[in-house]
Structure 1
């Protein structure tokens, strides 16, 4: 496992399926793909606004 895979796996450990659903823009079929390939999580988080959407969604869920 290289460094990027290791970091992606660590992120994925802390993300729920609901979090991953937010990252995929609501595409439930893609959640399993993110679980299989956690480096994709890093790719998504690098996109402008994606991390903000996740933080916003988590905030809405905790209310």
Structure 2
């Protein structure tokens, strides 16, 4: 019985650790998505200022 309780305690800790990692990754992804959006906006503005006809922000990447 004690072995099962120890195993459960270790598994619980592992799940909590993994949850922390996932939460940190989610925050990092949100930051990166905002940065990509900002860069796309800047590129679209630069394209428009250079006389381009279709801003890059209005185009979907080929993998979408």
| TM-score in terms of structure 1 length | 0.26
- Structure in which a larger fraction of residues adopt helix: 2
Q: TM-score by structure 2 length?
A: 0.26
Say which structure, 1 or 2, has more relative contact order (CA 8 Å, 6+ apart): 1
Instruction: Say which one has the larger Rg.
Output: 2
